[in-house]
Amino acid sequence: MTRPNFLDRNQDVISVSSLNRMARDLLEAGIPPVWIGGEISNLTLAASGHGYFSLKDGGAQVRCVMFRHKLALLPFRPQEGMQVELRGQVTLYEARGEFQISVGEMRAAGLGRLYEAFERLKARLQAEGLFDSSRKRELPAHPAAIGIVTSPAAAALRDVVSTLRRRMPGIPLILYPAQVQGEGSAQQIANAIRQAGERREADVLIICRGGGSIEDLWSFNEEIVARAVAACPIPTVSGVGHETDFTICDFVADRRAPTPTAAAELVSPNREHLAIQLEQAKRALERALGRLLTDKTQQLDFLGRRLTHPGSKLQAQRDKLGALSQTLRQRVHTMFDQGRWRLQLAASHLTRHQPDLAAQSQRLQQQQARLQRAQDRLLERRSQQLAQLSATLTAFNPEAVLARGYAIVQKRNGQAVKNPAELQDHERVTLRLAEGSTEARIEHPQGVQPELPF
């Protein structure tokens, strides 16, 4: 490969920034992205979300950076000392001149196929709707019994039992034993879950085990376990591994707990909190009863002061009735007086405004006579106009002209002829007379057709 000549022959001094930029371009152009295996060391997760660490083996180490948007896509959380395989771009951080790898992908060393299988099954079950929040059920607030699916020898069982005994020792615990690691463990876990669902002895079911590697937890990533959890008729809580561990069982269960202990806390009420709530409710009830007793006592005293002898109350009612009767009589008299006055006023008003019928009748007769005379004059004028128009119409009537011996010459299409020049020699025409019509043929003198005047 031919190396580019970054230096001008006439210039032998360059800046540090230019040098680092040339080195970065050489690295990125000369080394394509590759998969590299090693151990994570000096891991720092910055507040910005970016991850900074060294990848080392027995003989060397290299600085690495994984930016937030890439780090968030990982199915696990990188930890100090973890063996990983990563794919990235070899580059140079110009500001400090440090050789580093910009990481784009990361997987646990030797577990690439397991993670690929995990992601494939997760995508398929999610597409089927097994992870949908709509199918998640609420956990019972006060379960009558709690079921546990785990190994009888697991430390997780001891953590769950001790937590439940501390929080609510009166709740019965039912163990559905199953091997949680190794060959055949996934089938045993699925059988235990189905057994718990068929017996219906518990109101909620905890599926748990302690932390471990992805191989240790792989039984909870098997499809048979996921199907059993999805089909379980009672609410389920998955408490598998540590807070950073995620399994398919976590996504299918109704609730996920970061640890087995947290799962026990999710399904059980805290008796100390219940005792505090009960004491608070007791005090609130005592205060409410005290206020109610005080209010009723004051109300009784108030009603006692209002209580009077029935005779006194009857006398007061008689006095009130007498006063109301007197008021009613006064108002009736007042209404009659006002009505009589309004009637007299209306009669006086009617008398003043009564019409003079004789005068109005005489004026009506005069108006009728005037109307009749005007109508006669108008009729006479219209008769004279009609006679004049009739005479004019008679004078201009073509029928009257024909009666005096004239004729109308019409062509075959009915058009009247006004000028002989409009007629052709030997053309047939119609002669319309006063008492009928006849046909004729045109013959011009000496066979010469007259010309139209200009």
Statement to judge: residues 263 and 280 lie in one domain: no
Tokens of 234: 């009672």
Q: With respect to residue 395, please indicate whether it lies within any of the assigned structural domains.
A: no
Q: Along the 454 residues of the chain, how does pLDDT read in single tens digits?
A: 455 555 555 557 889 888 888 988 888 888 888 889 888 889 998 888 899 999 998 889 999 999 999 998 887 788 888 888 899 999 988 888 889 999 999 887 765 567 778 888 999 999 999 999 999 999 998 999 999 999 998 888 999 999 999 988 889 999 999 999 888 999 999 999 999 999 999 999 999 998 877 778 889 999 999 999 999 999 999 999 888 778 999 999 999 999 999 999 999 887 777 778 888 888 889 888 888 888 888 888 777 777 777 777 788 888 888 889 888 888 888 888 888 888 888 888 877 777 777 778 888 888 888 888 888 889 888 888 888 888 888 777 777 777 777 788 888 887 888 888 788 888 888 888 877 888 888 887 765 555 544 4
Statement to judge: residues 184 and 224 lie in one domain: yes
Residue keyed to tokens 């098997």: 222
Tell me which of 58, 84, 110 is where a domain ends: 110
> What's the pLDDT score for residue 1?
47
Q: What is the CATH number of the domain that holds 248?
A: 3.40.50.2300
Statement to judge: residues 250 and 187 lie in one domain: yes
Q: Is residue 234 within 8 Å of residue 197, measured between CB atoms? A: yes
Q: With respect to residue 348, please indicate whether it lies within any of the assigned structural domains.
A: no
> What's the pLDDT score for residue 146?
95
Residue 380 makes CB contacts below 8 A (sequence gap 6+) with none
Q: With respect to residue 299, please indicate whether it lies within any of the assigned structural domains.
A: yes
> What's the pLDDT score for residue 235?
96
Rounded CA-CA distance 71/53 in Å is 12
End-to-end CA, the chain:
108
Instruction: State residue 389 phi and psi, 5-degree precision.
Output: -65, -35
HEC sequence for 69-137: HHHCCCCCCCCCCCEEEEEEEEEEECCCCEEEEEEEEEEECCCHHHHHHHHHHHHHHHHHCCCCHHHCC
Strand residues in 191-337 grouped as ranges (E): 204-209, 236-240, 255-256
Instruction: State residue 3 phi and psi, 5-degree precision.
Output: -80, 135
Instruction: State residue 84 phi and psi, 5-degree precision.
Output: -135, 165
Statement to judge: residues 157 and 246 lie in one domain: yes
Statement to judge: residues 173 and 265 lie in one domain: yes
Q: With respect to residue 100, please indicate whether it lies within any of the assigned structural domains.
A: yes
Tell me which of 110, 137, 169 is where a domain ends: 110
Statement to judge: residues 182 and 287 lie in one domain: no
Q: What is the CATH number of the domain that holds 25?
A: 2.40.50.140
Task: Give per-residue burial for 185-222: e unless 16+ CB within 10 Å, then b.
Answer: bbbbbbebbebbbeeebbbbbbbbbbbeebebbbbbbb
HEC sequence for the chain: CCCCCCCCCCCCCCCHHHHHHHHHHHHHHHCCCEEEEEEEEEEEECCCCCEEEEEECCCCEEEEEECHHHHCCCCCCCCCCCEEEEEEEEEEECCCCEEEEEEEEEEECCCHHHHHHHHHHHHHHHHHCCCCHHHCCCCCCCCCCEEEEECCCCHHHHHHHHHHHHHCCCCCEEEEECCCCCCCHHHHHHHHHHHHHHHCCCCEEEEEECCCCCCCCHHHHCHHHHHHHHHCCCCEEEEECCCCCCCHHHHHCCEECCCHHHHHHHHCCCHHHHHHHHHHHHHHHHHHHHHHHHHHHHHHHHHHHHCCCHHHHHHHHHHHHHHHHHHHHHHHHHHHHHHHHHHHHHHHHHHHCCCCHHHHHHHHHHHHHHHHHHHHHHHHHHHHHHHHHHHHHHHCCHHHHHHCCCCEEECCCCCECCCHHHCCCCCEEEEEECCEEEEEECCCHHHCCCCCCC
Statement to judge: residues 261 and 280 lie in one domain: no
Total domain count, the chain: 4
Tell me which of 244, 269, 294 is where a domain ends: 269
Residue 361 makes CB contacts below 8 A (sequence gap 6+) with none
Q: With respect to residue 416, please indicate whether it lies within any of the assigned structural domains.
A: yes
Statement to judge: residues 57 and 37 lie in one domain: yes
Statement to judge: residues 250 and 287 lie in one domain: no
Statement to judge: residues 103 and 154 lie in one domain: no
Q: With respect to residue 234, please indicate whether it lies within any of the assigned structural domains.
A: yes
In the three-class reduction of DSSP (H, G, I as helix; E, B as strand; rest coil), residue 150 is classed as strand
Strands 428-433 vs 436-441: parallel, antiparallel or unpaired? antiparallel
Residue range(s) defining the domain that contains residue 32 = 16-110
Statement to judge: residues 44 and 102 lie in one domain: yes
Which pTM value belongs to this model?
0.45
Q: With respect to residue 349, please indicate whether it lies within any of the assigned structural domains.
A: no
Residue 418 makes CB contacts below 8 A (sequence gap 6+) with none
Statement to judge: residues 244 and 280 lie in one domain: no
Q: With respect to residue 47, please indicate whether it lies within any of the assigned structural domains.
A: yes
